[in-house]
Each structure stands twice: as C-alpha cells, then as structure tokens.
C-alpha cells in the first residue's frame, strides 16, 4: 500500500526511505521529523526567557510545532486506513481496531510518563491517545466532510473553551495524571483531555481531521504539494493578519489587558496569555490558546510546511540528506518518550547544548537502530498488539472478507 510505512507515535514502522518512488512517504516522515525537532525546541525553551524577553522559539515554533505534530498524525491514520483509497467493510473495521489499540497504548504511555515528566512534556501522548480514539469514527469520511468538521471545530471549539472557563472548569491535576488517574479521577481526566488541558481535543481534533483529509490526497503529486504550500501560506498569513488588525489596530489589546490579571504585559497577551473573560479573546492568536485565528494560523503553517517538504523531497539530493530526519520521524514515540525522561533528570543551564544534544541523539539513534534492528522499540511495542487486533477482526469475518479491499499493512 505504501512505499514506506509512515508512523506517528505508535504507528507502523518505517523502512528505509530512499528513491523517487517513495517521495510521498519520505516527505511525510521528514515532516514528522521536523515537527519532532520543533517540539524538542519548544520543550527546552520557554516563550519568554528569564529576563522577560520573547525567545526565538516562542516567536516561531511554540504552538505551530504541536499543530504540525498532530496534523501529521492524522495523515498517518489515513495511511493506516487505506490512504487515497480508504478501506471498506471488514478491512475498515480492522483498521479501526488497530487504531483503537494504538490509542490505548499511547495514552497509557503518556500517563506513565506523568510519574517522571516535567510539566506537561510527556502528557501530550495521553492527548494523542484521545485524538486517536476520537478519530476512529472519522476514518471512513470523505475529505470534504473532514474539512467541514474541522471548520466546525474552529468555530465551536473556542466557544467551548470559553464556556469551560466561565464555569470555572480547570486542570485539576497537580502533579500530572498518572496510571491510577483513570480509576481515581476519571471525570477530571476526561475534562482534561477534552477541554481543560494544554491540548484540548475540542480544538486539536480539527488538526487530526485536516490530516486525515490530506492523507486521502495523492501526496506524490507535485500539483498537490504546490497547492498545499500555497494554500497553507495564504491561510496562515490571512489569519495572522486578521488577528494583528483586530488586536493591535482596532482596540483588542486594550480590552484584553483590561480583562487580564493585574500585571499582565502586552507581550504576554499577544504571545503567551491565558483565556480571559472577553469576546476579544477570540481575536487573539496566543500560542496554544485555541482561538479561531490561532487555530487557522498554526494550521496554515503546518499545511505549508508539509507542502514545502513534499516538493523538496521530490529532488534526489535532499532525499539522501533528509533520510536521517525521516528515520527520526518514524520513531517519534520512542524519541519523544525518551526526551521527556531526559528533561526530567538532566538539569542544564545551556539550553542550546541541551537541544542540540537531544536532536543529535535522536537522529543518531534512529539511523543506527533502523540499520541494525528496524522498527523503533516503542513503535514495535505498540504495533505488535495493534496488528494482532487487526488480524483478529479480519479473521472473524468470512474467508473472503478482505477480497477486493486493500489490507492495511
């Protein structure tokens, strides 16, 4: 089905990805690798430094990295369920079973990291599990329907966040949720992954939907890549400009400052502010805020990055140069979980050295492990039971259940 298996955290393994026939898979893996490297940066640097100055990471990567990470996960789910030609019948049910097992295992790993991970670094894997579960009913939908759902979430999601804020709903976990939380605090955990957390499903599922829709396209097509690049750039620039006009030129900043906590600066409102009780909040583009313009801006950036990478990966020289990044992108579950532990146990004041060490370690590990073993260790740990679930569902149907349908491999 695929020239190379493309894997988000816990999806199928990546095989060596070289050669022009594999530009689609290489491009997606490279994009995922870029998202991983960007996520490592956002987890090393804060939006503001100790002197209150905006960091380069805060200006360029925070928020956008997570959106790209999640959108590419949606593309991987599309690949798992048939790519441009979605599987049907028993094969679709088998793909859904595969995704469900992956969701549970990835979410469980995220909860396990709650014992050691600083802040919410490892917690994104728990959100990932929730995104995968919510995506199960979506895998059979047409791209236009998926884009329509994403558009609805861009409108409704921020309103739900505002409603949750008005009701006083907050993240009740301090420290982070762990493996016992589904038993001891199931309601709070559900609220966390749906509404009150850093990556709430009511907004981030929109990125999964867009990824699913993109994964149904012919990503080996130059025309598709150009349209993704141009369309993504246009969306990002339009959303950013609209927010700038509303907040910086039409009085939104003053209204947001008035509604914010005392001492909040203008820079914090623009780049790293909290949800405030004002309709003007919907006009902001604050990182991870989930406002409509933040969602559209980061989503446009993610689509443009994917389009650009797909175009670059059509050329032979970049294919060889970017292969290590692609291999790291095929082992994001292993690399991300490991870096969460490293950040918890390796204190350092040299943030650049820490980030470079994480990136170098990830790339070297991925290249060597792929050469001598193949699939990433945690990826294999997730893939084995997920693939068994797929085979079990297929085995329950008639002997000819898969006839005429492309199996998910």
Domain boundaries, the chain: 20-396
Least confident of 52-56, 67-71, 213-217, 381-385: 52-56
Q: Report residue 273's pLDDT band, with 50, 70 and 90 as the boundaries.
A: confident
- Neighbouring CB atoms inside 10 A of 170's CB total 12
Q: Report residue 24's pLDDT band, with 50, 70 and 90 as the boundaries.
A: low
Residue 48: strand, helix, or coil: strand
Whether 180 contacts 47, CB under 8 Å? no
Asked whether the predicted pLDDT for residue 397 surpasses 70, the reply is no
pTM: 0.90
Q: Report residue 123's pLDDT band, with 50, 70 and 90 as the boundaries.
A: confident
Asked whether the predicted pLDDT for residue 257 surpasses 50, the reply is yes
Tokens matching residue 295? 């969602």
What pLDDT score does 117 carry?
Answer: 76
What ranges in 81-173 are assigned the alpha helix state H?
A: 89-113, 124-135, 143-166
- The b/e string for 144-161 (b: 16+ C-beta within 10 A; e otherwise) is eebbebbeebbeebbebb
Element (H, E) at 181: helix 181-184
What pLDDT score does 52 carry?
Answer: 87
Residues in Cβ contact with 379 at an 8 Å cutoff, skipping those fewer than 6 apart: 7, 9, 10, 11, 12, 13, 330, 331, 333, 334
Task: Please tell me what DSSP assigns to residue 265.
Answer: -
What pLDDT score does 29 carry?
Answer: 96
Looking at per-residue confidence, does 237 or 347 come out higher?
Answer: 237
């Amino acid at each position: 089905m695929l020239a190379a298996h493309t894997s988000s955290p816990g999806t199928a393994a990546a095989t060596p990805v070289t050669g022009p026939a594999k530009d689609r898979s290489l491009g997606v893996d490279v994009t995922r690798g870029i998202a991983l490297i960007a996520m490592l940066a956002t987890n090393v640097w804060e939006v503001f430094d100790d002197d209150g100055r905006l960091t380069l990471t805060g200006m360029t990567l925070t928020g956008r990295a997570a959106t790209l990470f999640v959108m590419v996960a949606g593309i991987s789910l599309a690949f798992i369920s048939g790519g441009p030609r979605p599987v049907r019948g028993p094969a679709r049910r088998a793909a859904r079973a595969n995704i469900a097992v992956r969701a549970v295992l990835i979410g469980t790993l995220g909860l396990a990291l709650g014992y050691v991970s600083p802040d919410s670094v490892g917690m994104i894997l728990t959100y990932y599990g929730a995104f995968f579960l919510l995506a199960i009913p979506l895998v059979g939908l047409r791209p236009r329907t998926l884009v329509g759902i994403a558009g609805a979430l861009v409108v409704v999601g921020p309103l739900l966040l505002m409603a949750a804020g008005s009701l006083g709903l907050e993240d009740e976990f301090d420290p982070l949720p762990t493996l016992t939380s589904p038993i001891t605090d199931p309601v709070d955990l559900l609220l966390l992954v749906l509404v009150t957390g850093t990556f709430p499903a009511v907004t981030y599922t929109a990125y999964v939907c867009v990824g699913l829709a993109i994964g149904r396209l012919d990503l080996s097509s130059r025309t598709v890549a150009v349209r993704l690049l141009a369309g993504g750039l246009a969306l990002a620039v339009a959303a950013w400009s609209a927010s700038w006009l509303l907040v910086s030129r039409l009085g939104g900043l003053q209204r947001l400052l008035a509604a914010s906590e005392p001492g909040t600066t203008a820079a914090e409102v623009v780049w790293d502010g909290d949800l405030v009780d004002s309709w003007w909040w919907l006009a902001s583009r604050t990182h991870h805020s989930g406002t409509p313009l933040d969602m559209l801006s980061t989503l446009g950036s993610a689509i443009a990055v994917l389009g650009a990478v797909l175009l670059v990966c059509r050329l032979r020289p970049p294919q060889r140069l970017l292969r290590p990044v692609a291999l790291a992108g095929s082992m994001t579950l292993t690399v991300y979980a490991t870096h969460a532990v490293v950040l918890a146990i390796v204190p350092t004041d040299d943030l650049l050295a820490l980030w470079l060490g994480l990136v170098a370690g990830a790339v070297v590990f991925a290249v060597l492990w792929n050469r001598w073993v193949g699939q990433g260790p945690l990826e294999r740990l997730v893939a084995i039971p997920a693939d068994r679930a797929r085979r079990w569902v297929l085995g329950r149907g008639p002997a000819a259940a898969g006839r005429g349908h492309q199996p998910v491999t």
